[in-house]
Amino acid sequence: MSHRVLDVTAYTTFDYLQGGASGLDWDEDGIVVLNVESDEEEGVVRLSTELDPTDVQRLDQHADHVELFPDQARTLASTLREAADRVEEEVDDE
């Protein structure tokens, strides 16, 4: 990923995932960096994403961030676990 907004290091949570962006009349797919950080001073967990700017034509280079309070982060983690379990069960049934 060239000219990144997010720093991608050995400590980045996930790098090079498949993702995308959508508008009212368009969709573009590409490589995504996803990182989770905790900011103890602000008391939040920060979830950041960035699409590879070489993969998308309709967006200016940028990164998106979501800040979650600890209870919200735990709710998200629980929801992700439940969704992963459902997917695994479906795959196992096939």
Q: How far is CA 6 from CA 18, 33, 52, 63, in A?
A: 16, 8, 10, 7
- pLDDT recorded at residue 8: 82
Q: How far is CA 66 from CA 5, 35, 36, in A?
A: 15, 11, 10
**Whether the model pTM is above 0.85:** no
Instruction: Give 64's pLDDT tier (boundaries 50, 70, 90).
Output: very high
Q: Which value, in Å, is the radius of gyration of the alpha carbons in the chain?
A: 16
